[in-house]
Amino acid sequence: MRRRTFNKLLGAGAATAALARAGLVRADEPYKAGFIYVGPVADFGFSHQHDVGRQAAQAALGDKLKTTYVESVKEGPDAERVIHELAAAGNGIIFTTSFGFMNPTIKVAKQFPKVYFEHCTGYKRATNVSTYNIRFYEGRYIQGVIAGKMSKSGVVGYVGSVPIPEVVMGMNSFIRGMHTVNPNGKIKLVWINEWYDPGKESDAAKALIDQGADIIAQHTDSAAPLQVAEERGVHGFGQASDMIKFAPKAQLTSSIDRWDDYYTQRIKDAMDGSWKSQDVWGGLGANMLKMAPYTNMPDDVAKAAQDAEDGIKSGKIVIFSGPINDQDGKPKVNDGQALSDAQILGMDWLAEGIEGTLPH
């Protein structure tokens, strides 16, 4: 701990010199960090935000750092090859940014014990493999509060991607937020079983609006559902990045993934040798999740949203604290109890107020 603070004080320049003496890098050569993305950098969503984080780290560390990225890498054997190449090319730290890169990351990490690996959204760690993720569900709670206040019909249309805990905890969090302001609020849920298909996403949003939803929420990657909301004159929320350009009148806010500080810090740690394997799951409080401006809503709604945001940050609001019932009304969390992180990460039930099915 003291060593880490000391190194930070010394600054990265001295750290590089120290590394140079240790023979890890030559003094005139920048430290190398590699990134692999599952989607194109230009997806304007998940992979795009990771690249924004990479650029922030690059900007913060200047000539001392050289970053490389490989985009649109398929999960599976291809990923292993790419990670292996990045490690062999002399990258000191490698960020693998999709759940499906988990096993390839662990495998390559064994072959390169001196290289640090950072795997996003996974749960397998090793002495040289850390995991990190964002508490995306915190943003959805705020969206729920806004939706509860803004919806006239009390029905939110939710475009679901793939039924996995990550998505389920998001919509459960949403309905928790919604019920704080409208206890009768409902979510109508449609799964499209894809992460990304703009056409299908927009079809799903249209179907939900046709069935009475006047707010569209999405856990898919394109701006298409929001665009439909704009066209049909209802409201919606952006995903992963600020999508206000696609829906200047419809977007209420957007949960923005923010990897900037995390990437900068971890690369710094790797450079000065203080890197340790860890598991980080940060949210609004850690500034890893940011809300886009609260727009297209009256002041009192924006204030309620801001209050929810502050409450989550300060820890006053515990999203999954009881009593919580599942969609059939059976108690899931008792009064006075709260779900642990492990329970949240394994969530396989829909909360009361969600109309839809969770296929198993």
Partner 1 sequence: MTVELGWFVPVVLSVISAATPLLLAATGELVTEKSGVLNLGIEGMMLVGAVTGFAVTLSTGNAALGILAAALAGAAMALAFAILTQVLLANQVATGLALAILGTGLSALIGKAYVGVALQPLPKLVLPILSGLPVIGPVLFHQDVLVYASFGILAGVSWFLNRTHAGLVLRAIGDSHEAAHAIGYHVVPIRFAAILFGGMTSGLAGAYMSLAYTPMWAENMTAGRGWIALALVVFATWRPARLLFGAYLFGGITILQLHVQGLGIAIPSQFLSMLPYLATILVLVVISRDAAKIRLNAPACLGRRFHASG
Whichever of 7 and 251 has its CB closer to partner 1, that residue is: 251
Using the rule CB under 8 A, is 355 a contact of partner 1? yes
Whichever of 17 and 162 has its CB closer to partner 1, that residue is: 162
Q: How far is the CB of 207 from partner 1 (least distance, A)?
A: 4
Using the rule CB under 8 A, is 78 a contact of partner 1? no
Whichever of 79 and 226 has its CB closer to partner 1, that residue is: 226
Whichever of 242 and 307 has its CB closer to partner 1, that residue is: 242
Quick check: 192 and 252 in contact, CB under 8 A? no
Site string for partner 1, 15-44 (x = CB under 8 A): ------------------------xx-xxx
Say if residue 323 is preceded by a cis peptide, omega within 30 of 0: yes
User: How many amino acids of this chain bind partner 1 (CB under 8 A)?
Assistant: 43
Whichever of 120 and 226 has its CB closer to partner 1, that residue is: 226
Structure-block tokens of residue 25:
């890098």
Name 1's Cβ contacts closer than 8 Å, sequence gap at least 6: none
Using the rule CB under 8 A, is 257 a contact of partner 1? no
Stretch of 27-35, 124-132, 189-197, 278-286 contacting partner 1, by CB under 8 A: 189-197
Stretch of 11-19, 125-133, 221-229, 258-266 contacting partner 1, by CB under 8 A: 221-229
Bridge partner list, 235: 215
Helix, strand, or coil (residue 290): strand
Whichever of 157 and 282 has its CB closer to partner 1, that residue is: 157
Quick check: 87 and 96 in contact, CB under 8 A? no
CA Rg, the chain, in Å?
A: 21
Whichever of 244 and 324 has its CB closer to partner 1, that residue is: 244
In the chain, the amino acid numbered 225 is: P
Q: What is the DSSP string of 26-42?
A: -TTSPEEEEEE-SS-GG
Quick check: 162 and 197 in contact, CB under 8 A? no
Using the rule CB under 8 A, is 200 a contact of partner 1? yes
Structure-block tokens of residue 294:
């609260």
Interface pick for partner 1 out of 66, 84, 125, 206 (rule CB under 8 A) = 206
Using the rule CB under 8 A, is 198 a contact of partner 1? yes
Using the rule CB under 8 A, is 165 a contact of partner 1? no
Interface pick for partner 1 out of 202, 251, 253, 254 (rule CB under 8 A) = 202
Helix, strand, or coil (residue 22): coil
Using the rule CB under 8 A, is 164 a contact of partner 1? no
Using the rule CB under 8 A, is 204 a contact of partner 1? yes
Q: How far is the CB of 222 from partner 1 (least distance, A)?
A: 5
Site string for partner 1, 119-158 (x = CB under 8 A): --------------------------------------x-
Using the rule CB under 8 A, is 296 a contact of partner 1? no
Task: Beginning with the edge strand found earlier in the chain, give each strand of the sheet holding 93-96 in spatial order.
Answer: 65-70, 31-36, 93-96, 116-120, 129-134, 279-282
Please report where in the chains the tokens 């990258």 appear, as a residue: 91
Quick check: 42 and 18 in contact, CB under 8 A? no
**b (16+ CB within 10 A) / e for 31-58:** bbbbbbbbbebebbbbbbbbbbbbebbb
Q: How far is the CB of 80 from partner 1 (least distance, A)?
A: 22
Stretch of 9-17, 184-192, 258-266, 292-300 contacting partner 1, by CB under 8 A: 184-192
Name 183's Cβ contacts closer than 8 Å, sequence gap at least 6: none
Using the rule CB under 8 A, is 326 a contact of partner 1? no
* Separation between Cα atoms, residue 79 and residue 107, nearest integer Å: 11
CA 299 to the chain's CA centroid:
27
Interface residues with partner 1 (CB under 8 A) are 39-40, 42-44, 48, 157, 163, 188-194, 196-204, 206-211, 222-224, 227, 231, 241, 245-247, 355-357, 359
